[in-house]
Amino acid sequence: MESMSGNFSSPIFDGNTVSSPVAFVLKGYPRLSETFIAQEILALEQRGLNILIVSLRQPTDAKRHPVHDEIRADVLYLPEFPVREPRRVARAWWQMRRRPGYKAARRQWLADLCRDPSLVRFRSFLQALVLASERPADVDRFHAHYLHTPACVTRYAAITLGIPWTCSAHARDIWTTPEWEKREKLAELDWLVTCTDYGFRHLASLAPEPSRVELVYHGLDLSRFPQDKATRGGGDGSSDDQAVTILSVGRAVPKKGYESLLEAFAQLPEALHWRFVHIGFGDLLDALRRKAQELGIDDKVTWLGAQPQDKVIEAYRRADLFVLANRVAADGDMDGLPNVIMEAQSQGLPVLSTRISAIPEIIEDGVNGVLVQPDDSEALAQELERLIADPTLRARLGENGAARMRRDFSHERGVEQLVRKFGLADLPARMRA
């Protein structure tokens, strides 16, 4: 799909007040694993921001969340593999080559390529030319979600056109982007928001002015996660009818620590009755299935694959315990504050996770959840055994987690910060409605 559907919203006019359209540059759209981005786009639309979604990749998920169907923004898909769309790329280059900013963008790209030679750099520059060429004339600023590749495409296109750009940084993009590149991007963009204090302090230290970086927790849209009033079974793992259901939601990738979690399950006493349910996709899924078989626990493990939001919420409500064994991957990739922890807590589900990145920003060990060191399957097994056998402890942690999450991590607070960043606070209330 090369172009938009043709229904791109025009700016909102009210005398001298204008809400100019903004192009949001995403890795892919729609994506089941990026609900937080979709809920942000919808909330900003509802407050009066005209958005064009620009996707670097075609969608790969067979299913969609309900929020994707509520978003009105048109989508511009850039050539995921430029070599397959040579005419489109050549047309973009022909149109942009005489732009005043083209030479500067090309110089910047070549400088980046010398320091980090890769095919991704080539693709980013070609995608940026297509973005600059095909963006509607009234789109006068870009906003990248993720500081790595989406920000590269955004940066080159913004330099070519001579328009401002901003960014939302999250997790992998922060920790796998070279420091020189982060410094340069932070010096060029208008502002950047990031969703954890851990990431905020790091990026603010690299920015020319720390005020250019702001902490904005993306939070959770609680209207989509109403708290379930049903009482959980309260099993203690002492028998089959007292088996405890343990849930994890996350991609099967190294930073999620699922190998360590499976090893922890294998260390649990044979007399303890439990079952593990995993929701998510990922490159390691087949390897994890084989590992569960090798450990002799595959009869207790259910792999559900990717699921839409309503099925995920249903799984939270059926489970007794949520586990996410996050770790730092070999390439430095790690989570920020996983959205699934907030989702689980919204349903009163007790959480067991690791002391890494921003997870301690929402979980206080022993108060509203339990934390262990990453890559420590023995400690993980000990806490699993303790939590499986103690339904009273699980209930207390779940109640405290829900209260903290709803008090401090509501979606609305972060949206209002973004409303101000995008200048929507100056629009009349009737126009934002």
pLDDT tens for each residue of 28-53: 999 988 888 999 999 999 999 999 99
pLDDT in tens, 213-267: 999 998 888 888 888 766 677 899 999 999 999 999 999 999 999 999 999 999 9
Same domain, 73 and 207: yes
> Tell me: the pLDDT tens digits for 89-106?
999 999 999 999 999 999
Number of domains in the chain: 2
User: Chain-wide mean pLDDT for the chain?
Assistant: 91
Does residue 276 sit in the same domain as residue 364? Answer: yes
Domain contains 151 = yes
Encode pLDDT of 71-91 as tens digits.
999 999 999 999 999 999 999
What confidence score (pLDDT) does residue 416 get?
92
What number is the average pLDDT over the span 378-399? Answer: 97
Let me know whether 385 and 401 are in one domain: yes
Do 215 and 228 lie in one domain? The reply is no
- Strand duo 12-14 + 17-19: pairing: antiparallel
Within a domain: 234 = yes
Asked whether residue 5 is domain-assigned, the answer is no
- Does 138 have pLDDT greater than 60? yes
Q: Are residues 289 and 392 in the same domain?
A: yes
Q: Are residues 347 and 368 in the same domain?
A: yes
Give the pLDDT band of residue 432 (cuts 50, 70, 90).
very low
pLDDT, mean of residues 313-327: 96
Q: Parallel, antiparallel, or unpaired: how do β-strands 351-354 and 321-323 relate?
A: parallel
Both tokens assigned to 91: 């047309």
CATH code: domain of residue 100: 3.40.50.2000
Handedness of CA 307, 311, 314, 318 (dihedral sign): negative
The verdict on residue 300 lying in a domain is: yes
User: Based on the domain organization, do 382 and 312 belong to the same domain?
Assistant: yes
pLDDT tens digits, 183-198: 999 999 999 999 999 9
Residues 247 and 215 in one domain: no
Q: Please indicate, yes or no, whether residues 203 and 234 belong to a single structural domain of this protein.
A: no
Signed CA dihedral, 126, 127, 132, 134: sign only = positive
Is there a single domain that holds both residue 160 and residue 262? Answer: no
On whether the CB atoms of residues 207 and 186 are closer than 8 A, the answer is yes
Give the Cα separation of 238 and 38 in Å (integer): 42
The phi, psi pair for 216, rounded to 5°, reads -135, 100
Do 44 and 57 share a domain, yes or no?
Answer: yes
pLDDT at 134 over 60: yes
Residue 426 lies in a domain: yes
Share of the chain above pLDDT 70, in %: 93
Task: List all residues 6 or more positions away from 83 whose beta carbon is below 8 Å from its beta carbon.
Answer: none
Q: What is the DSSP string of 36-83?
A: HHHHHHHHHHHTT--EEEEEEE----S---HHHHH---EEEE--SSGG
pTM over 0.75: yes
Three-state secondary structure readout of 144-206? EECCCHHHHHHHHHHHHHCCCEEEEECCHHHHHCCHHHHHHHHHHCCCEEECCHHHHHHHHHH
pLDDT at 3 over 50: no
Domain-embedded: residue 3: no
pLDDT confidence of residue 19: 59
Instruction: Please tell me the distance from the alpha carbon of residue 7 to that of residue 12, in angstroms, as a whole number.
Output: 15
pLDDT in tens, 105-125: 999 999 999 999 999 999 999
The parent domain of residue 291 ranges over 224-408
Using 50, 70 and 90 to split pLDDT, how confident is the model at 64? Answer: confident
Q: How many Cα atoms are found within 13 Å in the side-chain-facing hemisphere of 130?
A: 26
Residue 96: strand, helix, or coil: helix
Question: Cα–Cα distance between 141 and 124 in angstroms, integer?
Answer: 18
- Pair 211, 346 in one domain: no
> How far apart, in whole angstroms, are the C-alpha atoms of residue 68 and residue 307?
14
397 in any annotated domain: yes
Q: Which amino acid is at 154?
A: T
Task: Give the list of residues 6+ apart from residue 84 with CB closer than 8 angstroms, or none.
Answer: none
- pLDDT score recorded for residue 231: 63
Q: Is 101 domain-assigned?
A: yes
